[in-house]
């Protein structure tokens, strides 16, 4: 079932890509380009190819190919409009850079309107076809739920609340009388053979608690004799986050407690590419004048080493040297780590200025270029602090599943700066873990904008 769904998603994607290409070529025709000359332009194929790549990424970010069959079509219009808007912006930028087409505002408008109409109509027709097929009894699957406890009740309610999903519940079996299901309760688990003999069942969904696992063998054996598909909803799902992930290694099912979209290869490449481009722009546009200025002021107002180097833990807990503009008095001995307080006497007057506007963190762009850090991610903590916190805060080390960042979700939500308050540190960790589960490229952009705003306004937690 899952493989069929993925195949269907790919078909939907290629249909959209086909409409994308048709929409762009139709737009060229409408702005008086000769159809015979269109394919002579080398940029046409390049533009369509680039827009296709952008569509691929934006569609997954907006969940355009999610299972909207269980919801009204209006819900799908939102991701459609987001993708079309992304295409409009991308098309305008590409045409601006193109030497053959120039800046054709009319072409962008035509392309946007045609693409929106064709994609929307295609997806609406898809919904209509699916509904008609189900009215005829096609594209539906009958289910039998085994287990009437908490898991079974929740799953039953989910299916009943989404009747258009194409599933029909035949009934529920449980060794304890499950009056909750009314007439849908068909008896004990031992009645499974009789139910399958009398009724056609496509899938048996096992929703038993862990302590009832001895029944699994009997259920599976009976279903095999009737060529009935069996699916299991494990009782340990209560330990999973809302965004868990299921994978296969050979014939073994692997369930990840948390989905790690940020660690998927194509997203890692996108995030790394953005880190490099953004950092190079900062070096050219900002550091070319700001870095020398801060260095001179540091030498004059804060005599001693210009930079402070400290050991930090990166991805997978690997240590690296983190760079900062020194904001404290030179420390004579190494290994004397102490959390910074708001009115810490070790902070110099110029260092206080650097910290107020987060300028002391700027050298960490070097760590970004070296691949040790990212622009956005959980802030790196001191090695000794990590050792202390991992034994106190639950799931603390999960924040090291990704590269640390110059800024992060915790920082823009007010959880930054040194603190001995374990409650504050726990909330900071929760923000870091939320970022891992909910990462998207647009979330990174949002965090960057919020960080710049806080730098300009002055963060009260920056000390």
What pLDDT does 35 receive? 58
What pLDDT does 248 receive? 60
The Cα–Cα gap between 454 and 356 comes to: 10
What pLDDT does 252 receive? 62
Query: pLDDT grade, residue 75 (50/70/90)?
Result: low
Query: pLDDT grade, residue 366 (50/70/90)?
Result: very high
What pLDDT does 1 receive? 44
Residue 92 has pLDDT above 80, yes or no: yes
CB-based contact 181:207 (threshold 8 Å): no
Q: Among 26-35, 265-274, 293-302, name the one with the lowest average pLDDT.
A: 26-35
Three-state secondary structure call for residue 168: strand
Of residues 418, 72, 436, 139, the one with CA closest to residue 261: 436
Give me the residue label for tokens 């063998």.
217
Q: Which residues contact 26 (CB under 8 A, 6 or more apart)?
A: 110, 114
CB-based contact 91:111 (threshold 8 Å): yes
Element (H, E) at 26: helix 2-30
pLDDT, one tens digit per residue, over 282-332 is 899 888 888 889 888 888 888 888 888 888 888 887 888 988 888 777 665
What pLDDT does 234 receive? 77
What pLDDT does 112 receive? 92
What pLDDT does 18 receive? 93
What pLDDT does 2 receive? 44
CB-based contact 143:162 (threshold 8 Å): no
Q: What is the mean pLDDT of residues 351-355?
A: 80
Residue 258 has pLDDT above 50, yes or no: yes
CB-based contact 31:110 (threshold 8 Å): yes
The Cα–Cα gap between 349 and 22 comes to: 63
CB-based contact 344:370 (threshold 8 Å): no
Residue 222 has pLDDT above 90, yes or no: no
Residue 163 has pLDDT above 70, yes or no: no
What pLDDT does 62 receive? 78
pLDDT, one tens digit per residue, over 165-201 is 678 889 999 988 878 888 889 989 999 999 999 888 8
What pLDDT does 145 receive? 92
What pLDDT does 73 receive? 62
All domains in the chain, ordered by first residue: 2-135 (no CATH), 141-239 (3.40.50.720), 263-457 (no CATH)
The Cα–Cα gap between 389 and 382 comes to: 10
pLDDT, one tens digit per residue, over 2-29 is 445 566 678 888 899 999 999 988 888 8
CB-based contact 345:383 (threshold 8 Å): no
Query: pLDDT grade, residue 77 (50/70/90)?
Result: confident
What pLDDT does 368 receive? 93
Instruction: Express as a percent the part of the chain with pLDDT over 70.
Output: 79
Instruction: Give exposure, 263-285, as e/b (b: 16+ Cβ within 10 Å).
Output: eeeebeeebeebbeebbeebeee
Cα-based torsion angle of the residue sequence 207, 209, 212, 217 in order, rounded to the nearest 10 degrees: 40
What pLDDT does 200 receive? 85
Of residues 336 and 249, which shows the higher confidence score?
Answer: 249
């Amino acid at each position: 079932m899952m493989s069929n769904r993925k195949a269907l998603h790919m078909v939907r994607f290629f249909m959209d890509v086909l409409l994308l290409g048709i929409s762009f070529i139709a737009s060229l025709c409408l702005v008086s380009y000769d159809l015979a000359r269109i394919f002579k332009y080398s940029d046409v194929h390049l533009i369509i190819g680039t827009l296709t790549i952008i569509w691929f990424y934006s569609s997954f970010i907006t969940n355009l190919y999610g299972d909207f069959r269980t919801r009204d079509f209006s819900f799908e219009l939102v991701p459609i409009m987001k993708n079309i808007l992304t295409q409009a912006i991308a098309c305008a930028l590409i045409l601006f850079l193109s030497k053959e087409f120039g800046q054709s505002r009319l072409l962008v408008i035509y392309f946007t309107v045609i693409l929106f109409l064709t994609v929307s109509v295609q997806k609406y027709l898809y919904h209509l076809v699916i509904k008609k097929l189900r009215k005829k009894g096609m594209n539906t699957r009958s289910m039998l739920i085994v287990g009437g406890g908490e898991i079974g009740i929740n799953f039953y309610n989910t299916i009943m609340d989404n009747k258009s999903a194409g599933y029909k519940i035949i009934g529920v079996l449980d060794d304890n009388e499950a009056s909750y299901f009314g007439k849908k309760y068909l008896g004990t688990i031992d009645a499974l053979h009789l139910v399958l003999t009398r009724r056609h069942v496509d899938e048996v969904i096992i929703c038993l608690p862990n302590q009832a696992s001895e029944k699994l063998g009997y259920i599976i054996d009976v279903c095999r004799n009737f060529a009935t598909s069996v699916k299991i909803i494990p009782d340990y799902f209560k330990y999973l986050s809302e965004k868990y992930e299921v994978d296969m290694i050979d014939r073994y099912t692997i369930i990840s407690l948390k989905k790690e979209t940020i660690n998927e290869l194509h997203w890692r490449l996108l995030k790394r590419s953005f880190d490099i481009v953004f950092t190079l722009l900062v070096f050219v546009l900002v550091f070319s004048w700001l870095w020398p200025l801060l260095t001179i002021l540091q030498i004059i107002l804060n005599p001693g080493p210009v930079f402070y180097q400290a050991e930090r833990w990166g991805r997978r807990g690997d240590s690296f040297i983190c760079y900062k503009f020194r904001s404290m008095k030179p420390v004579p001995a190494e290994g004397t780590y102490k959390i910074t307080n708001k009115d810490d006497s070790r902070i110099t007057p110029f260092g206080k200025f650097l910290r107020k506007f987060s300028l002391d963190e700027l050298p960490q762009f070097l760590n970004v270029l070296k691949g040790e850090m990212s622009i956005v991610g959980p802030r790196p903590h001191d090695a000794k602090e990590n050792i202390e916190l991992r034994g106190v805060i639950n799931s603390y080390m999960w924040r090291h599943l990704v590269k640390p960042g110059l800024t992060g979700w915790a920082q823009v939500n007010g959880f930054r700066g040194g603190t001995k308050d374990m409650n504050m540190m726990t909330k900071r960790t929760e923000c870091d873990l939320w970022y891992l589960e909910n990462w998207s490229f647009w979330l990174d952009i949002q965090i960057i904008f919020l960080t710049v705003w806080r730098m300009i306004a002055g963060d009260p937690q920056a000390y």
